Every structure is written in structure tokens, then in C-alpha cells.
Amino acid sequence: MGIGIRLENVRKVYDTPPPMAARGAGFSFTPMRSGAPKEKKKKFEVVALDGVSLAMRPGEVFGLLGPNGAGKSTAIGILTTRTRPTSGRAFIGDFDIWQEQVKAKRLIGVVAQRPNLDFALTAREVLLFHGAYFGQNARERARRTDELLEQFKLTDRADHMVRTFSGGMMQRLSIARAMMHDPEILFLDEPSAGLDPQTRLLLWEIIRGYNGLGKTIVLTTHYMDEADTLSHRLAIIDHGKIIAQGTPQELKASIPGGYLLRLRFDRVTEELMAALRTLPGVTEVRSTDHIAADVYADRGGPLIAAIVNTAQAAAIELRDVHISEPSLENLFLHHTGRSLRD
Amino acid sequence: MNWKTFYALLARDGHVARRNLLPMLVQNLLQPMLLTFVFGRVLTTSGMMQGSYKSVLLPGIMAISMVLAGVQAVAMPLIAEFQFTREIEDRLLAPMEIGWLAVEKIVADMIQALVAGLVVIPAAWLTLGRGVNLSFDHPLEFAAVCLLVAFFSSVGGLALGCSVGQTQIGLMFSLVLAPMMMFGCAYYPWSALRAFPVLQYAVLINPLVYASEGLRGTLTHVEHMNTWIVIAVLASVNLLLLAVGLKKFHGKAVS
């Protein structure tokens, strides 16, 4: 079960400022204006996606990680029929998203970056009408609406107009709405932006639960921990290009030096240093002072036993170990030379 | 074509319209009633206008009400829904070609425009008092003109709503709607412009002229433009606006 997604060499160039939906929160597509009025005004052009190819497998949680303006929302826009690719093709299952929009739309649920609820309706009506758009009958609609309102803790505000809702409530309702017609694929564009930590955890739980039903989930985020904990696989995107992809573990392992083990002994000798260098997976050993050593290796925990044995063999006492896991932050830094939050 | 989705979208608009019934009725009725009272009652009773002016005025007021209904029911919501909040997004994601969402808006508005136009007749009749001579001798022509005016109202609203940004709403009223209403032959018959030959032909680009004259022709015995010309022009304008509106709608809906 589950439906996969494919992007084939997708390119998107905006020649007019893209609509709000495709705009990152802190990013602006303000066109370049030349200073002197006599000069010909520079033609507006923004390359949002530059030849992106990606495959998301059925039933996985796929994360798109990147800074604001990297092209994440444009990618989501193309995958959800809302943005027309300049070139290249995108598929949901076997359906070409641009050519067979209606079939694609049936399979997807979309949570936009900013709540885009129908302000003329109450929370319950938002869900009921959404179900109706997807052809659910009245009984099914009512049952599913009650379920979702309960699940998203919105039951007590169900009959209030959504324009009176707080940001977090709107976000919850947006997600409930996207799940209303039980889509095979759920797209979430920066779902936890602006959510308090509690709601964020609730959201993660819901995403995992929905994924547990065999549904494919695509989410964009610029939070490292979110990408790391939620996604089975992820792609890091910057300036419209995929700069790395794989499981979070694979990606982190791809950083040279990978894990960092900071060791403290009662003393450090040259023999010990030499012995540590011969351990499997160790790329570099540095002595920081006469009682500590930093070991760079492609693994963390599994190395501890060998280190203990090495120390014992040299009659040296191991006093402290700290394993620092490779992080996506480091990976992004490694590939772009910039921090993700810049 | 997915009729279930189409019907659900229509039901949504109906639901919202029902919720706003009272303010909508006030919007649709108050202005025409005030206009008919001042122009049709005060000015005629005081002798500043001839009594026959009442019959000239009523179809014009009806035309204005119907056309304004399009602005209220299509243009304004579209402007809002395509703005920052992108409220329309959920409906664009409904399993249906997005062009049909525009068609749904057109249908929903035609209904509202027809209601807005038809409620004006009894309301204006009441405020005008005696002396209005309405005739329903041409029911088919009247129905055809009504439908065409309602269609103009909705496709015009669609084209306008997809061309105007939220910051330009004020400008839209003063630059497009005000001249259109003043030079729309609503308050006077087209023949009254005979004394201003340039103006008389210049106003022919204004579709409201045909709406007013068409209703005048099918509803009263006042001198009016040939109904068949009215029907032909309105039909062509409608087709043109439909094409423009759909194109603009696509442009707004897809980035």
C-alpha cells in the first residue's frame, strides 16, 4: 500500500513574483531594481528549482530540509498541482501531476505553510465541506469530522468561526482538513512553524500515526530535529538544488569525521594514541592535553568497548566518554559553508 | 467533470450567502430603495421631474443592482480569497479542474444577481408609489435579458476580481464602477443623450447601457434601444469577459 512520488529534472523559474503560497516566511522575491532610472529595468527572474530529481517511496516520511527561500515550497507547489513546472515532470503514483491533476488531487492532502482556512465557515463546516468536495456522503462526513475534531482537540470550538481561532488552532484545523478525505499522501509545508512545543509534539505524534497507516508523508522544515526525528529519508535543498539526500543516519555519516568521541583518561601516552589510531573506523585521533583525546570515527557507541580494552591493555584508566553524534547542521555547513538558519 | 464536487462548492457558496442573508439584503435593497425614493418619489412628487420618469428609472435601478451583485458576490470575495490568506486554496485542491471553480462562481453569482434584480422590482414599486407602468408583454425577451445581465454581472465580477488587487478596491469603485453607473443609461434612457452626440456613442462601450436599455425595453413602454441589439451585444460582451475571466482566474490560481 502507499503511493510514491517522483520528480524528474524539475525546473521552475518565476518571471513574476510568486503568490504568497510559494513564498517562504522570511524570504522575499523582491526583483532587482537598477539604481539609475535610465538603465533598462532588469527582467524579473527567480530560479526557484534548478533541475531537481527526487523519488519518495510509498509509505515513507520524506523530509525536505533547507533554509528559507531554498525552493521547498515551490517543490511542494509543483507536487500539489498548485505550481506549474517550467520544465521537467512530476508524478504522484503513475499520474503526471500536471497532466492528470484531478487524479493526483484525489490522492493528496495538503497543509500549507500558512493556514489558508475558509474564513467564512466554522471549524466543523471547514471539515464538512472539504469532505463534500471529495464526494464523501453526509454520514461519512459527519463521522470523520467528529473524529478529527476530537483528535485535534478542537471539539469545544467546533462551531466557532475559524477567523476567531488562534494561530495554533488554525494550524491544527488545517492538518485535520488535509486528512479529512483520507489521502494517500500528506504534504506538510513547515507544519510546526509557530507552534508551541506541546502542539509540536502532538503534531509529530499525529504524523507518525498517519504514517503508521501506510501513508506517504512529505514535509518541509528548517528545523534539524524535526527532519531528524520524523523522516525516514530526507533531501537537503539549497538554492533550488538537491545538495544531499538519504536517511538522516546516512547523511550524517557522510560528513568526514562523522562521530566525535571525547575521551578522558588518567593520563595519555603516545602508545595509547597509536593504539587508538589502529581501531576500526577511526579516522583521526588528537590529544587535546595530557589527559584527554578526541577521536574522530565513523561510529560512536560501538567503539567504546574497543577503547576500553585498548586503555586496559596500556594500563590506563578511562574516566569519561562523551559521544557527539554527527548532526545535519554540520552536514549543511559542510555542503554550503553556511549555517541552516542564515 | 465531477458534479459532486461542483455541487458541494455551490452548496458552500449558498451556505455562506444564507449566513450573510440579512446584510446582503440590506446591501442589495437599501441603495436602490433610497435611489428610487429620492429620484422617483421626491423629485417627481415635488414636480421637478415628470411622473413618467418613474418608469424610466426602475429598469435602470434594477440593472445597477444586478451588476453590483456581481461585484459583491464574485469580485470582492475573489479579491480577498486570492490575497494573503489564500482562502480559496482548499477549493482549488478539490478534485476538479480548476476552471470549473470559476464556472461555479459564475453560476452562484448568476443566482444572486437574479435575486438581487428581481427583489428590486417589488421594492422599488413600493417606494415609487403610483404611476409606474410596468408591462410583462415580452416575458421571453425579459427572461433572456435578465439572464444575460446576470451572466454579465458574474463574468464581469470574475474578470474584475481576478484583475484587481486588495489595495486597489477603492480605485476600482471610483475608476470603474462609478463612471459605469453614471454613464450606464440607468438614470436616463439612451435616447436622452441625443443632445450629446459624442457622449451618446462613447457610452456604447459601457455594457450597463445595454443592461439598462434591455430591461427598459422588455419591462416598460418607454423609448428604448432595440432589444435584439441589446441581446446580441450583451451575449458578445459576456463571451469576451468569460474568456478573459477564465484566463485571469487560471493566472491567479496557478503560479
Q: What ipTM did this prediction achieve? A: 0.87
In this predicted model, what pLDDT tens digit does every residue of B131-154 receive, in sequence order?
A: 777 888 888 999 999 999 999 999
What pLDDT, on the 0 to 100 scale, is given for residue A29?
A: 41
Helices B227-253 and B98-128: crossing angle, nearest 10°?
Answer: 140
Q: What is the mean pLDDT of residues B91-96?
A: 92
Termini Cα distance of chain A: 39
Distance of residue A179 Cα from the nearest chain B Cα, in angstroms: 12
Quote the minimal CA–CA distance from A109 to chain B in Å.
Answer: 8
CB contact under 8 A, A20 and B15: no
* Minimum distance, in Å, between the CA of residue B150 and any CA atom of chain A: 24
Distances from the Cα of B162 to the Cα of A322, B71, B159, angstroms: 60, 11, 5
Question: CB distance B87–A117 less than 8 Å?
Answer: yes
Please answer yes or no on whether A125 and B11 come within 8 Å at the CB atom: no
Residues paired with residue A89 on neighbouring β-strands, in sequence order = A8
- Residues of B in CB contact (< 8 Å) with A are 2, 4-5, 8-9, 11-12, 15-16, 19, 82-87, 89-98, 252-255
Q: How far apart are CA B88 and CA A188, in angstroms?
A: 18
Nearest chain B residue (CA) to A19: B255
pLDDT of residue A330: 63
C-alpha distance from A158 to closest chain B C-alpha (Å): 17
User: Whole-angstrom Cα distance, residue A324 to residue A302?
Assistant: 13
Q: Give the pLDDT confidence score for residue A144 in this predicted structure.
A: 95
Cβ neighbours of A84 in B, within 8 Å: 254-255
Distance (Å) from the alpha carbon of A16 to chain B's nearest alpha carbon: 9
Check CB contact under 8 Å for A120 and B16: yes
What is the percentage of chain B residues whose pLDDT exceeds 90?
36
Interface-testing mutation among B84, B92, B93, B100, with chain A (most A C-beta atoms within 10 A) = B93
| Record: contact B93-A22, CB cut-off 8 A | no
Q: Select the residue of B8, B90, B96 nearest A102 (Cβ to Cβ).
A: B96
CA distance A101 to chain B (A): 7
> What's the start-to-end Cα distance of chain B, in Å?
23
pLDDT for residue A256 = 59
Nearest to A117 by CA among A56, A172, A62: A172
**Site from B89, B97, B104, B162 to mutate, A interface, most A CB atoms within 10 angstroms:** B89
Instruction: Give the per-residue SS3 of A203-237.
Output: HHHHHHHHHHCCCEEEEEECCHHHHHHHCCEEEEE
Full-model pTM:
0.80
Tell me the per-residue pLDDT of B225-241, one tens digit each, with 9 for 90 and over: 888 999 999 999 999 99
Q: Given an 8 Å threshold on Cβ–Cβ distance, is B12 in contact with A21?
A: no
Copy the grid coordinates of residue A228.
531528524
Residues of B in Cβ contact (< 8 Å) with A112: 86, 89
Q: What is the pLDDT, as a whole number, of residue B68?
A: 87
Measured between CA atoms, the residue of chain A closest to residue B18 is A120
Per-residue pLDDT of chain A (342 residues; tens, 9 = 90+): 678 899 998 899 988 766 544 444 333 344 444 444 444 556 678 888 998 999 999 999 999 988 888 888 899 999 999 899 999 999 999 999 999 999 999 999 999 888 889 999 999 999 999 999 999 999 999 999 999 999 888 999 999 999 899 888 898 899 999 999 999 999 999 888 777 888 888 889 999 999 999 999 999 988 878 888 899 999 988 888 998 889 988 887 776 566 778 888 888 888 888 888 888 888 778 777 788 888 878 777 888 888 888 888 888 888 888 887 777 766 776 676 565 654
Using CB atoms, which residue from B5, B93, B98 is nearest to A110? B93
Nearest CA in chain B to A115: B85
Q: Do B90 and A80 touch (CB under 8 A)?
A: no
Residues in chain A with CB shorter than 8 Å from the CB of B15 are 121, 125, 129
Q: What are B16-47's pLDDT values in tens digits?
A: 989 988 888 887 788 888 888 888 888 888 88
| Chain A partners within 8 Å of B97 (Cβ) | 101-102
Structure confidence at residue B171 (pLDDT): 85
- Across the interface, of A83, A106, A118, the residue whose CB is closest to B95 is A106
Residues A32-62: pLDDT tens digits?
Answer: 444 444 445 566 788 889 989 999 999 999 9
> What residue ranges do the domains of chain A occupy?
5-117+165-252, 256-325
Contact A134 B87 (CB under 8 A): no
* Contact assignment for B86 to A20 by CB distance below 8 Å: yes
Summarize pLDDT for B193-217 with one digit per residue, the tens.
Answer: 889 989 999 999 999 999 999 999 8
What is the pairing mode between strands A5-14 and A87-92?
antiparallel
How far is residue B141's CA from residue B138's CA, in Å, rounded to a whole number? 5
Task: Output the CA torsion sign for A85, A172, A204, A104.
Answer: negative
- Residues B136 and A86: their CA atoms lie apart, in Å, by 56
Instruction: Answer yes or no: is pLDDT of B118 > 90.
Output: no
- C-alpha grid cell for residue A182? 483520507
**The pLDDT of residue A255:** 67
Average of per-residue pLDDT values in chain B = 88
Amino acid at A48: A
Q: Give the pairing of strands A61-65 and A233-238.
A: parallel
Predicted local distance difference test score (pLDDT) of residue A1: 60
- At A316 the pLDDT is 86
Q: Mutate one of A44, A76, A129 to test the B interface: name it (highest B CB count within 10 A).
A: A129
Q: Who among B8, B84, B92 is closest to A20 (CB)?
A: B84
Of B16, B94, B97, the CB nearest to A133: B94
Residue in B82, B83, B89 closest to A112 by CB: B89
CA distances for A124 relative to A88, A130, A152, angstroms: 39, 10, 12
State the DSSP H helix or E strand holding residue A310, giving kind and residue range, or none if neither: helix A304-313
CA distance A218 to A178: 13
Q: State how far the Cα of B74 lies from the Cα of B107, in Å rounded to an integer.
A: 10
Output the pLDDT for position B130: 75
CA distance B100 to chain A (A): 12
pLDDT at A31: 42
Burial class (CB in 10 A: 0-12, 13-18, 19+), B80: middle
The CATH-assigned architecture of domain A5-117+165-252 is: 3-Layer(aba) Sandwich (3.40)
Q: How confident is the model at residue B120 (pLDDT cuts 50, 70, 90)?
A: confident
**How many Cα atoms within 13 Å fall on the side-chain side of residue A329?**
10
Q: Give the strand pairing for A259-265 and A318-324.
A: antiparallel
Chain A nearest C-alpha distance from B15 (Å): 9
Cα angle vertex B242, ends B240, B243, to 5°? 65
| Highest CATH level, class, for A256-325 | alpha beta
Residues of chain A contacting residue B255, judged by C-beta atoms under 8 Å apart: 14, 18-19, 21-22, 77, 82-84
Predicted confidence at residue A42, as pLDDT, reads 61
How is chain B split into domains, by residue range? 3-253
